[in-house]
Amino acid sequence: MPTSFHARAPAYWSDALASDPKSELSEDQCVIGEEHFFIRGLLRLPIRDTDDHFTWGVWVSLSRSNFLRTSELWEQVGREAEPPMFGWLSTDLAQVYGVPTLNLETMVHTQPVGDRPWIVLAPTDHPLAVDQHAGITLARARAIVERLMHG
C-alpha cells in the first residue's frame, strides 16, 4: 500500500502561469507573480500502533523574507538548525477530508540538505490537524489510499 501522496503544485498555481516571467514552479519551490512564495514539504500522519507514517507532500506559503532565507540556505549543511517558520498550508485535501485544508496554520521545520521540510499543523479541531497530532489507524490510512486511487 502506498503511504505517500504529493501535490504537484500549490493550489494557487495554474498552468497558465508557466509562461509568466514573474512566476516559476520547480520540484520544491514556487513563486507566483514575484509576490507569493511557496515551498514543498512533508506533512506526516503517524499510523497508530506502527512505526510508519502516512505522508502528504504539500505546499506551504512563506513570507518573502522566510522564502529568501530558505533559498539562501538550500544547500547549506546545518540548515536544520534554523528555527521553524510560520506558513499557510497551500494544498487542498478536501477530497479526502470533506472540508477545505487551504490556509491552515503551519510551522515549517527545515531538515538536513536533501530532505524536504516537515510541516506541522497548528493543533486545532480541523480533521487534518487531528490526524497529524493524534495519529490515524491503519484502516484509516487504507481508506485514504482507496479514496485517492479509486475515487
pLDDT at 3 over 90: no
Please report the pLDDT score of residue 37 as a whole number.
98
Query: Do the strands 36-46 and 53-62 form a parallel or antiparallel pair, or are they unpaired?
Result: antiparallel
pLDDT band at 149 (very low <50, low <70, confident <90, very high): confident
Range 85-93 average pLDDT: 97
Q: Name the residue ranges covered by the structural domains of the chain.
A: 4-150
Q: Which cell goes with 138? A: 491503519
pLDDT at 38 over 90: yes
Range 56-69 average pLDDT: 98
Give the global pTM.
0.94
- Mean pLDDT rounded to a whole number for the chain: 96
Please report the pLDDT score of residue 111 as a whole number.
98
Handedness of CA 77, 78, 80, 85 (dihedral sign): negative
> For residue 82, which of 71, 91, 98 has the smallest C-alpha distance?
71
Of residues 123 and 149, more confidence is placed in: 123
Determine what percent of the chain is predicted with pLDDT higher than 90. Answer: 92
Please report the pLDDT score of residue 26 as a whole number.
97
C-alpha span between 151 and 147 (Å, rounded): 5
pLDDT at 106 over 90: yes
SS3 of residue 60 by DSSP:
strand
Range 121-133 average pLDDT: 97
Range 11-36 average pLDDT: 97
Range 49-60 average pLDDT: 95
Please report the pLDDT score of residue 35 as a whole number.
97
